[in-house]
Amino acid sequence: MEEADRQIKAQDATRRAFDRHYERLFRLALLLTRDPYEAEDIVQDAFVRSSSRLASLPEDEVGPYLRAAVVNGWRTRITRLRTRARRLPLLRTPDNGDPDLDATHDLWNLVLSLPPRQRATVVLRYYEDLSEQATADVLGCSVGTVKSQLSRAIEHLRRRYHDEDRG
């Protein structure tokens, strides 16, 4: 196949994948980042980085592939931000826990306040409705780690929810 044909095929596959998966991927990234601009960047990066691969994937594997690319992009940004924060301690800003997202449900506000790894585990397991194994695969960890992160997150959510109920 000529290079031009390959490029056209890759563009068509990317366009179809974008039309079919963009909104869900954006919501996933928004829940992970709590920032619509960063979420948009992560999703766009996922499509750009995946564009040459999408044409060769079976249709039922495109969504999971892109979801993994979004989660990996988010994890890379978290790592980069932590590294930058260690190098430039004067530039650190306190995280007041207020989500940038105008959430309509108290529970999601609490989910947004979870530490990043717990938040990712909860979002993938319950929002994306992935199995523990699929969540572990996307996060690149063991099923045991997923279970422990979920347990900690749920305990945190219970405590915070009941604290807000009393307050």
Domain ranges across the chain: 1-93, 99-167
Q: Among candidates 161, 155, 50, which has minimal Cα distance to 105?
A: 161
The CATH number given to 1-93 is 1.10.1740
Percent of the chain with pLDDT over 70: 82
Identify the pLDDT of residue 91.
32
Question: Residue 102's pLDDT band (boundaries 50, 70, 90)?
Answer: very low
If one compares 143 and 82, the residue with the highest pLDDT of the two is 143
CATH T-level assignment (fold) for domain 99-167? Arc Repressor Mutant, subunit A (1.10.10)
Residue 16: both structure tokens together: 């179809």
Other Cβ atoms less than 10 A from the Cβ of 78: the count is 15
- Is residue 86 over pLDDT 70? no
3-state secondary structure of 101: coil
